Amino acid sequence: MSKTVPIKKNECIEIEFEDLTHDGAGVAKLDGYPIFVQGALPGEKAEIKIVKVNKGYGVARLMQLLERSHFRVDIAKEDRHKYGGCQLQHLNYEGQLKFKENQVRQVLTRIGKLNDIIVHPVLGMEHPWEYRNKAQVPVGEKDGKLISGFFKPRTHEIVNTNESVIQLPEVNDAIQTVKEICSELGVKAYNEETHKGDLRHIMARYGKQTGELMVVIITRTKDFPQKNKLIEEIVAHLPKIKSIVHNINSKRTNVILGEQTKVLWGNEFIYDYIGDVKFAISALSFYQVNPAQTKVLYDKTLEYAGLTGDETVIDAYCGIGTISLFLAQKARKVYGVEIVPEAIEDAKRNAQLNRITNVEFAVGKAETVIPKWDEEGVNADVLVVDPPRKGCDEALLETIITMKPKKVVYVSCNPATLARDLRILEDGGYQTLEVQPVDMFPQTTHVECVSLIVRK
């Protein structure tokens, strides 16, 4: 007989929280029935109002805290707009690192059935604020003026904000300055419903080590009023500007960037360093948004690779060559493969920029290119994977199992797909020795991991 649901919609109850979900919501249970509440923390008691009832779970709103967690942080109401995208803003940093370590442990056990792996404490930041070197913000209109910020959760309503606590001050300043200049010049914001207006998004990228700034203006139209005056004003107001780029997105879509990009002023690239390696960053380049923690992540990758100078390394999902060029400093030869042709062009350019000659890059699917290299006699001692959130393609995992490299280093931005893929590798003759979580995105629920995997 099916269990009856113990709550009703709009009912108010008092309850204690025992856990957090992967997206940072508090979890309470009533007779074994889970109730999810944004903003609640484990160990807290609260009065909640039920807003949604399903057969398997309920969702509620936090009405009043009755007992607080000592990990809780209070944020003044007037400052809350600065915390867009910060799901863990109410949890102090010690609590955030514990949450992320626990999250990694739980998914490795639940999804990967991996109970005996060493999971190290999360490597966090000394100053877990103002770290993002890139922002792309939607633009709208209110009372005849341009507004920009972030979308309210599950809506397309823009919350207007002049700064974000997780973006570098230079990025906040660039976005705000460009918005104000566009507003004064009468540039019209794009309207999603009518598909009219010009300005859709403003993007800013900043090289923390070089002090170089890029602004990208994303419009619906190929041209927009006062373009030359806009360039002149941006150059006058932003002394660190090195590049102004125009991206055209004429489609009715939620995708931010369109297919046409042209430089309006300055250079096509700005530059930045991760460690000693220099990178050229275009408007479209994938480049990690937290270079300080990227260095921590890549140092751990290099440590797990254990290179002595004699190894051949394959870097699957190599992107613009960030990990490949790090590995090349210690390996005999590195081969990188990536499906995006523009990323491989960036990777080759970055190799030349750093005078690194022991790397070779190819465009294609890793699971197609790597077996071809194998046939040509490229025997990888170490294979590094850094896939997107969906994890490794199953065909690539089968390729790894068939090729039998001695060691695999798996860099992951999603613990759930990491756990799934580790299970496949374990069943194929590999053993996961240890996992090191790294906090690349403080104040959010995301966590990256580096895993060391060896052939049994």
Question: Residue 153, class by beta-carbon neighbours within 10 Å (0-12 exposed, 13-18 middle, 19+ buried)?
Answer: exposed
In the chain, domain spans: 12-67, 102-126+290-455, 134-274
CA 215 to chain centre: 20
Instruction: Check 86, 318, 392, 413 and give the catalytic one.
Output: 413
pLDDT value at 408 more than 60: yes
Q: How far is Cα 289 from Cα 441, in angstroms, rounded to an integer?
A: 9
Q: Do domains 12-67 and 134-274 have the same CATH topology?
A: yes
The dihedral region occupied by 275, where left means phi > 0, alpha psi between -120 and 50, and beta the remainder, is: left
For range 151-163, the mean pLDDT: 85
Q: How far is Cα 180 from Cα 158, in angstroms, rounded to an integer?
A: 16
* CATH topology (fold) of 12-67: OB fold (Dihydrolipoamide Acetyltransferase, E2P) (2.40.50)
Which of 72-76, 164-168, 330-334, 363-367 bottoms out in mean pLDDT, i.e. has the lowest?
A: 72-76
Task: Look up the CATH number of domain 102-126+290-455.
Answer: 3.40.50.150
CA 437 to chain centre: 14
Q: How far is Cα 272 from Cα 433, in angstroms, rounded to an integer?
A: 34
Tell me if 23 sits within 8 A of 36, measured CB to CB: no
Beta strand 382-385 pairing with 407-412: parallel
CA 218 to chain centre: 21
Tens of pLDDT along 268-320?
999 999 999 999 999 999 899 999 999 999 999 999 999 999 999 999 999 99
- Give Dmax over CA atoms of the chain in angstroms: 73
pTM: 0.93
Q: Give catalytic status of residue 392 as yes or no.
A: no
Tell me if 150 sits within 8 A of 161, measured CB to CB: yes
Confidence of residue 3 (pLDDT cuts 50, 70, 90): low
Looking at the structure, give the CATH architecture of the domain made up of residues 134-274: Beta Barrel (2.40)
pLDDT for position 1? 33
Coil, helix or strand at residue 12: strand
